[in-house]
Amino acid sequence: MTQSTTMLKAGARHRRTTPKGESPN
């Protein structure tokens, strides 16, 4: 769970337009 949250947070930081649950790619 920690890894998923970290990945989501990192992705949101790079791409704020990216909705939660979607990959930052």
pLDDT (tens digit, 9 = 90+) per residue, 1-25?
Answer: 577 777 667 765 656 566 666 665 5
Res 5: pLDDT: 73
Res 19: pLDDT: 66
Q: Is the dihedral of CA 11, 2, 21, 17 positive or negative?
A: negative
Q: List the one residue out of 21, 25, 17 whose CA is nearest residue 4.
A: 21
Res 20: pLDDT: 67
Length of the chain equals 25
CA–CA distance, 17 with 3 (Å, rounded to integer):
21
Res 9: pLDDT: 72
